[in-house]
Amino acid sequence: MKFTGDVYAVKEGEVVFPGEPILTIKAPLIQAQFAETALLNIINHQTLIATKSSKICRSATRGAVMEFGLRRAQAPDAGIYGARAAIIGGCSSTSNVIAGKMFSVPVAGTMAHSWIMDFDSEYEAFKAYAESYPENCLLLVDTYDTLRSGVPNAIKVFKELREKGYKPRGIRLDSGDFAYLSKKSREMLDQAGFEDAIICVSGDLDERLISSLMQQGAKIDLWGVGTKLITSEDLPALGGVYKLAAVLEKDGTMTPKIKLSDNSEKTTNPAFKNVYRLYDRDNGMAIADLITLREEEVDETKPLTIFHPIETWKKHTVENFRAEELLKPIVIKGELVYEFPALLDVRAFSLQEKEKFWEEYLRLDMPQTYKVDLSTKLHTLKIDMIDEIRSKNAKKDK
């Protein structure tokens, strides 16, 4: 069996919201049905990790974030494609070497505790490491005692490196009170004349701990985030769904389909749809997303009144806006028509798109709900279908 249908999707790295279609397949039912499990597995997982990565990277504000999650990922595939998604979300590099090779992204890491413990002393371990990596020497300083042993020994080796004409990279903290230790380490490094040496931190980090450390004035330049990123610990699954929205009849007409539920958020939007993002022409910021019927076009020359899809009395009239179609053709009649960009280009696009949303929508605590509305035609179709189904069922009850 060969896929002969069409695929429309938002560009990878695009900001998306609950309730809107991010991928649509128009194909013979058996072909579309076979793809369901694979698509949900791929899209839900990577969207989840990219979202978690985005939160973590935004919390870091200054300083890059390295993805360190392979050892805690749920099997190798999750480690590889989780790393890929983390890069899209904003991570600058990954410790996963095979993912770096597969996707042409930077690979980064630091020395292991086992390296240090294999030597008779911490100083000897640091010295041997510096000899192996003189141009990229970043030393792990918490194996025995961070401030009494680790940082002093690192400074001793850094001085030796500098005498040989090399510039030390910095140190890494992996345990303890990161706010306190980073401040003290910064003082010690600066006093020794290594103001340019960076401080890297790793160890059970997530967006909330990073945000707290930043508020405490921690002197951290580089973050290594593993377990809580690669597993999205606080939200380990994304509830994306794959639902039948319409059936193409033999005569060529498209019959919309709808699934009802006692929970309004689980009642699907019928028909072959599109999604438009509305931007303010003056400042370029996103205003709202509008889900429409596929054949609808948004007229940018006239004021547009949008309304909440459930609480319909909540209305907002948009003027001086531009509308951008989000669902792009990927496959048409079984043939790929989209040129996929390099992963680092996807990352750059994602970072660029997030800048088009006000901070109120992106903050960690109690973010403002971004408007995702239905067009009048789609809303009317949905309500009419709901009323028709309920009317039929009411007659059966009699």
- Distances 50 to 140, 229, 363 between C-alpha atoms, Å: 28, 9, 16
Contact 180, 201 (CB under 8 A): no
- Mean pLDDT score, 260-267: 88
Report residue 147 as tokens. 């401030």
- Mean pLDDT score, 293-320: 94
Angle at CA of residue 275, ends 386 and 236, nearest 5° = 85
Kindly give, in sequence order, each residue whose CB lies less than 8 Å from that of residue 93, ignoring residues fewer than 6 positions away.
64, 66, 67, 87, 100, 105, 106, 107, 108
pLDDT in the model for residue 314: 93
The residue type found at 77 is: D
Please state the φ and ψ torsions of residue 336, each to the nearest 5 degrees. Answer: -65, 125
Contact 24, 7 (CB under 8 A): yes
CB atoms within 10 A of CB 109: 16
pLDDT in the model for residue 110: 87
pLDDT in the model for residue 393: 81
Residue 196 banded pLDDT, cuts 50, 70, 90:
very high
pLDDT in the model for residue 398: 64
Report residue 126 as tokens. 């640091």
pLDDT in the model for residue 264: 84
pLDDT in the model for residue 395: 73
Alpha helices in the chain (DSSP H): 29-34, 36-60, 76-89, 97-103, 113-117, 122-132, 151-163, 178-191, 207-215, 227-230, 343-354, 359-362, 376-397
Rounded mean pLDDT of the chain?
95
CA separation for the pair 359, 48 (Å, rounded): 20
CA-based R_g, the chain, Å: 26
Q: Does the pLDDT value for residue 373 go beyond 80? A: yes
- Distances 35 to 7, 42, 43, 251 between C-alpha atoms, Å: 11, 11, 12, 25
Q: Does the pLDDT value for residue 171 go beyond 80? A: yes
Kindly give, in sequence order, each residue whose CB lies less than 8 Å from that of residue 145, ignoring residues fewer than 6 positions away.
none
pLDDT in the model for residue 392: 84
Q: Does the pLDDT value for residue 36 go beyond 80? A: yes
Domains of the chain with bracketed CATH: 6-18+258-397 (3.20.140.10), 48-230 (3.20.20.70)
- Mean pLDDT score, 82-86: 98
- Distances 22 to 19, 65, 346, 375 between C-alpha atoms, Å: 9, 27, 16, 17
